[in-house]
């Protein structure tokens, strides 16, 4: 076993080094691209490739597109090999530099919470944009020639060049735009960033792209206007070069997508945001016609991976499951339990996307799982706060079923996509864990507590010895959200884990009930069970990471081969020369690229469907073999122990996180304190400020100064 562990460690290290080198090479390509050296070398390389079987298009794909695809494929293999559970030993010391990079450095209401590594990434990207703009525009100004067709003055020509280079800045943002919103193929998991957390990078890149694109388009129109060429240029669809009308359509489409994604619209009219975001297809098609295939290969990796990710998600979610039980909580929330395949494993804080065709055939909504696959291997559970149109419809459906003549729940079909979760269980590395939740934000934290409970008796893992759950709510009936961990709250765990609950009820005055009495009172809820056979409607999750890597590689090969074949069919080999290429309309190359892309995605869909069919078939055979085995599903009795003196409830006040953190006892010399905050943005900001202040050496006493508060936020703004 030790030899196997060492071999795997060596293999993982080798893969890490290779991924770092590959990423460094791709970044270097972007840095060299604006230089005269790259221009000269690349022109020679294209001329050489044009005379070969691969053509200039094959070279562009291999150099600009494939490195990112290869990085994702290798990353999937790496995550598939890497142990999903933490090691038996806990790292007790983290370097000051590492903590500085991961902990919040900037905390304010304008930019939110930014860690050191995020600030470093933003600074490096801004430096790259500045370098690209400077290198391009300085070269343009050196080689400036009057534009006879537009009859422009020197300052007008310079301004037109500036506008053009802003278009390249928008292109750079577009090249990274879709990478943060990949789910199954998410590259950010390699550095420990979950999908829902990386969405903010998509927002930043999208905003920057729209800004640069608007400057590019508006400035170009301005120059055309003052030169009296706007009518001729705007509607021109030329055979070669830039197709300007396509660029205008691209800009308008991008503005529509960006405006409808603003928080003021997204939070009130989510349906408008959701449907207009599908205009990205129009956006990318007309961007291809406007910029040409050479520029498209630069931004192609994100779109290529997004299409693969999308098609795999569609295949997975086509198999609908069914609600096996439902509970209506007093705080106008609904807990849904769905069946799953016993082999489907997921990690705490995982997210699933849910669609209920009875409400809407197209809308998907993200929810955190409150269950743990280590505790229950047959079902998954979510809690839905019913305060908007879609969720209100769900609440009415469940209430209608509950108030009917029968106590049984009719089959409510549900499509499930996911679950998507972190690559590792980082919360287990801490000596002391503080979980802070606001309202419905407690749901992902419940899965953490479920997981720790299941692992406490396993000697292979070291769990946090002390856990503190701080739940902030408006009304006391929201304690019903904690019903899934009620046995854990009301009984002792043989001294292996100390759990303390602190509840803050902000909009109620002191009541005569204790926290334990409130927990018992609001946990008495009717569970409505369905009569369907849960094994016939089990959710099976995504394909394995290994198979996703294989499918991605296969689609890449099919695209590359199809691109070469289509170009040789449409453009005969003897005409594949530089002069002939100049006479070939640029939109033909664009159509060939789109055709190759469509064929590759179709082939990937076929493979994905075959794999899904085989997986379902194996599952059905396993179910037939285990038909005679029954499982005792009687609910565990609620232990009404004497733990109420350890828990606290506060009415009419909000938590003072500085005070709470300062009062933490340190009996075992615990230096690493993990803080996980899940709730409204204002609460997350307050917690981040407290962690930053407490870890900055502002407290008195040498013993307390040894404590390091590591902040993590779970922010779901999808």
pLDDT-wise least confident of 58-62, 211-215, 307-311, 497-501? 497-501
Tokens matching residue 300: 């192609």
pLDDT of 701 strictly over 60: no
d(CA 387, CA 248): 39
DSSP secondary structure code for residue 335 in this structure: E
Cβ-contact 588, 638 below 8 angstroms: no
Beta pairing partners, 436: 470, 677
The 10s digit of each residue's pLDDT in 331-372 is 888 999 998 888 888 888 899 999 998 888 888 888 999 998
Question: What is the rounded average pLDDT of the residues 371-398?
Answer: 86
Tokens matching residue 426: 């980082």
Other CB atoms within 10 A of residue 48 CB? 12
Nearest Cα to Cα of residue 476 among 440, 516, 504: 504
Check: CATH 2.40.30.10 for 321-530? yes
pLDDT-wise least confident of 60-69, 96-105, 509-518, 646-655? 96-105
- Tell me the percentage of the chain whose pLDDT exceeds 70: 84
Instruction: Return the top range by mean pLDDT from 252-256, 460-464, 706-710.
Output: 252-256
Instruction: Return the top range by mean pLDDT from 104-113, 644-653, 673-682, 703-712.
Output: 673-682
Question: What is the rounded average pLDDT of the residues 490-516?
Answer: 76
| pLDDT score of 409 | 76
pLDDT of 718 strictly over 60: no
| Residue boundaries of the structural domains of the chain | 321-530
Question: HSE (CB half, 13 Å, CA atoms) of 629?
Answer: 6
Report which of residues 90 and 647 the model is more confident about: 647
d(CA 74, CA 82): 12
pLDDT of 74 strictly over 50: yes
Report which of residues 568 and 124 the model is more confident about: 124
Main-chain phi, psi angles of 708, to 5 degrees: -120, 120
| pLDDT score of 370 | 92
| pLDDT score of 573 | 55
d(CA 231, CA 389): 46
Torsion of CA 52, 58, 60, 64, to 10 degrees: -130
Other CB atoms within 10 A of residue 447 CB? 27
Tokens 């009717």, located at residue: 526
């Amino acid at each position: 076993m030790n030899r196997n562990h060492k071999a795997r460690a060596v293999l993982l290290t080798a893969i890490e080094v290779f991924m770092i080198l590959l990423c460094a090479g791709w970044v270097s390509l972007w840095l060299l691209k604006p230089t005269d050296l790259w221009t000269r070398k690349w022109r020679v390389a294209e001329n050489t490739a044009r005379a070969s079987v691969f053509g200039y298009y094959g070279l562009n794909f291999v150099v600009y597109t494939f490195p990112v695809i290869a990085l994702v494929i290798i990353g999937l293999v790496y995550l598939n090999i890497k142990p999903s559970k933490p090691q038996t030993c806990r790292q007790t010391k983290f370097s000051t530099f590492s903590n500085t990079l991961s902990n919040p450095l900037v905390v304010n209401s304008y930019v939110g919470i930014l860690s050191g590594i995020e600030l470093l990434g933003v600074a490096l990207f801004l430096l790259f944009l500045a370098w690209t703009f400077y290198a391009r525009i300085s070269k343009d100004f050196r080689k400036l020639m009057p534009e006879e067709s537009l009859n422009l003055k020197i300052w007008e020509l310079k301004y037109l060049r500036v506008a053009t280079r802003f278009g390249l800045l928008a292109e750079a943002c577009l090249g990274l735009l879709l990478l943060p919103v990949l789910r199954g193929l998410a590259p950010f998991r390699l550095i420990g960033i979950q999908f829902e957390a990386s969405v903010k990078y998509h927002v930043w890149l999208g905003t920057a792209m729209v800004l640069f694109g608007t400057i590019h388009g508006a400035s170009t129109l301005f120059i055309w206007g003052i030169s009296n060429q706007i009518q001729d240029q705007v509607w021109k669809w030329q055979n070669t070069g830039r197709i300007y009308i396509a660029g205008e359509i691209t800009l308008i489409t991008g503005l529509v997508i960006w405006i409808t994604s603003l928080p003021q619209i997204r939070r009130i009219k989510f349906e408008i945001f959701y449907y207009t975001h599908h205009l990205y297809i129009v956006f990318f098609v007309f961007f291809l016609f406007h910029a040409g295939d050479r520029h498209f290969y630069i931004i192609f990796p994100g779109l290529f991976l997004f299409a693969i990710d999308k098609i795999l998600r569609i295949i997975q979610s086509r198999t609908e499951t069914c609600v096996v039980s439902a509970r209506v909580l007093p705080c106008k929330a609904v807990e849904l339990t769905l069946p799953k395949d016993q082999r489907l494993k997921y990690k705490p804080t995982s997210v699933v996307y849910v669609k209920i065709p009875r409400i809407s055939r197209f809308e998907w909504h993200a929810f955190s799982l409150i269950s743990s696959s280590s505790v229950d291997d047959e079902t998954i559970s979510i809690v839905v706060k019913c305060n908007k149109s879609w969720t209100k419809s769900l609440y009415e459906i469940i209430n209608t079923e509950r108030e009917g003549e029968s106590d049984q729940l009719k089959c409510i079909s549900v499509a499930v996509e996911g679950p998507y979760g972190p690559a590792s269980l980082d919360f287990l590395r801490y000596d002391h864990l503080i979980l802070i939740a606001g309202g419905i934000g407690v749901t992902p934290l419940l899965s953490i507590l479920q997981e720790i409970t299941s692992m406490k008796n396993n000697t292979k893992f070291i769990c946090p010895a002390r856990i503190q759950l701080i739940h902030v709510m408006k009304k006391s009936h929201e304690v019903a959200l904690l019903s899934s961990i009620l046995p854990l709250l009301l009984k002792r765990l043989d001294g292996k884990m100390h759990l303390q609950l602190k509840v803050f009820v902000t909009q109620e005055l002191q009541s005569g009930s204790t926290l334990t009495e409130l927990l018992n009172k609001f946990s008495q809820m009717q569970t409505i069970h369905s009569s369907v056979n849960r094994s016939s409607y089990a959710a099976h999750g995504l394909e394995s990471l290994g198979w996703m890597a294989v499918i991605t590689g296969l689609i890449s090969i099919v695209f590359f081969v199809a691109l070469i074949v289509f170009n040789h069919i449409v453009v005969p080999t003897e005409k594949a020369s530089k002069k002939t290429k100049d006479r070939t309309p640029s939109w033909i190359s664009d159509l060939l690229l789109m055709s190759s892309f469509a064929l590759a995605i179709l082939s990937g869909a076929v493979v994905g469907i075959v794999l899904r069919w085989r997986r379902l078939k194996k599952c059905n055979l396993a179910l037939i073999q285990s038909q005679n085995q029954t499982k005792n599903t009687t609910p565990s009795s609620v232990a009404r122990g004497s733990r109420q003196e350890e828990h606290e409830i506060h009415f009419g006040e909000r938590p003072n996180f500085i005070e709470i953190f300062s009062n933490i006892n340190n009996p075992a010399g615990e230096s690493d304190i993990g803080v996980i905050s899940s709730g409204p943005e204002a609460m997350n900001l307050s917690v981040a400020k407290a962690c930053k202040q407490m870890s900055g050496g502002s407290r008195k006493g040498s013993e307390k100064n040894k404590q390091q508060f590591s902040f993590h936020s779970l922010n779901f703004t999808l």
